């Protein structure tokens, strides 16, 4: 069975959570308020105990690698799906962002990248015209291949949190967990644990950083103990010329993960937490309309150790510089 759990909030639990969110919206207005995260911390104990128990398992890595939090259908009154991530000042999403943040801070500290979406903490996942075939969250008509988020970087997030605002076609987020590694041979395990794999940033990072010829990061794609963690991003991973053994082992690993993918179909208000060390994620293809009704998610990336990346962030900032 996939290492996936689901919790469905009752109507009463949802009303209680919404009362907390309304108070936060009244206090902060938007998620741009710098005091937001500190303020949210004061409300940690206001979520349903049943939910916080599940989230504690996510943080400890004793729970499932993928956790879906569902709630009674959320009103899609968030305005049209934007045509791009650039517009600011979306007060219509404030309540939804606060729900995402309130759940997320039970798991880790939100961080972001200076090179993604102008360094904003909350990111948009939506189709952008002209990027239909890109291997990024702004593609659409192609399959977004499974990957670990920002696999190229040692300070990548521990957990990826995605909240659905709109998904009328029920396009699935796809996930596979490290449980698929049980079928990987001992010989392949040994090869995949060696630093023989070059991982590169995706084009969004490179465009914002102005880098045209980045140096690859040579890392293993499996690491850790007897139940290894994943560091896999096939679209941006290569092996050294002539290292056919590593290339074949990586190909076999990718086929295992591909075969283990399962769909997670999010509806408005649903939230998925993906352990970025124990699972990979992607997305089914879909046909964009570009009429304001397209699939739209909001994203937070969470770290268990905020201090670890302190040397890469400006004072008071959660945005990491690209190495």
Lowest mean pLDDT among 15-19, 192-196, 214-218, 284-288: 214-218
Mean pLDDT within 291-297: 97
79: which 2 tokens?
Answer: 């305005």
Cα–Cα distance, 8 to 14 (Å, whole number): 10
Cα–Cα distance, 282 to 299 (Å, whole number): 14
18 CB neighbour count, 10 Å cutoff = 15
> What is residue 92's predicted lDDT score, i.e. its pLDDT?
83
295: which 2 tokens?
Answer: 């699939």
Whether 87 has a pLDDT exceeding 90, the answer reads no
17 CB neighbour count, 10 Å cutoff = 19
Task: Give phi and psi for 256, each to the nearest 5.
Answer: -60, -45
Domains of the chain, with CATH numbers? Answer: 4-179+261-309 (3.60.130.10)
Cα–Cα distance, 323 to 93 (Å, whole number): 32
Strand partners, 66: 4, 274
> What is residue 1's predicted lDDT score, i.e. its pLDDT?
44
51 CB neighbour count, 10 Å cutoff = 18
Report whether 112 contacts 121 (CB < 8 A): yes
> What is residue 209's predicted lDDT score, i.e. its pLDDT?
79
Whether 249 has a pLDDT exceeding 90, the answer reads yes
When the pLDDT of each residue in the chain is averaged and rounded to a whole number, the result is 92
């Amino acid at each position: 069975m996939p290492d996936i759990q689901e919790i469905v909030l009752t109507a009463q639990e949802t009303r209680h959570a919404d009362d907390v969110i309304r108070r936060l919206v009244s206090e902060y207005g938007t998620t741009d308020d710098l005091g937001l995260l500190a303020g949210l911390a004061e409300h940690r104990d206001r979520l349903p105990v049943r939910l916080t128990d599940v989230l504690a398992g996510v943080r400890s890595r004793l729970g499932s690698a993928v956790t879906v939090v569902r709630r009674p259908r959320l009103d899609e009154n968030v305005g049209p799906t934007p045509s791009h991530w650039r517009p600011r000042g979306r007060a219509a999403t404030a309540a939804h962002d606060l729900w995402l943040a309130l759940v997320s801070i039970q798991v880790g500290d939100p961080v972001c990248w200076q090179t993604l979406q102008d360094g904003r903490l909350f990111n948009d996942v939506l189709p952008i015209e002209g990027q239909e075939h890109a291997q990024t969250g702004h593609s659409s008509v192609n399959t977004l291949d499974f990957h670990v988020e920002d696999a190229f970087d040692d300070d990548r997030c521990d957990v990826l949190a995605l909240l659905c605002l709109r998904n009328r076609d029920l396009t699935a987020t796809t996930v596979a967990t490290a449980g698929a590694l049980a079928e990987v041979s001992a010989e392949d395990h040994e090869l995949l644990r060696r630093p023989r794999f070059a991982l590169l940033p995706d084009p969004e990072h490179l465009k914002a950083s102005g880098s045209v010829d980045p140096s690859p990061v040579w890392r293993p794609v499996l690491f850790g103990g007897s139940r290894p963690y994943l560091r896999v991003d096939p679209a941006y991973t290569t092996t050294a010329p002539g290292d056919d053994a590593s290339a074949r082992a990586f190909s076999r690993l990718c086929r295992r993960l591909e075969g283990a993918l399962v769909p997670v179909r999010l509806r408005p208000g649903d939230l998925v937490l993906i352990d970025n060390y124990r699972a990979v994620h992607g997305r089914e293809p879909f046909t964009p309309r570009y009429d304001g009704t397209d699939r739209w998610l909001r994203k937070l990336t969470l770290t268990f150790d905020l201090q670890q990346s302190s040397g890469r962030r400006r004072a008071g900032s959660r945005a990491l510089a690209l190495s």
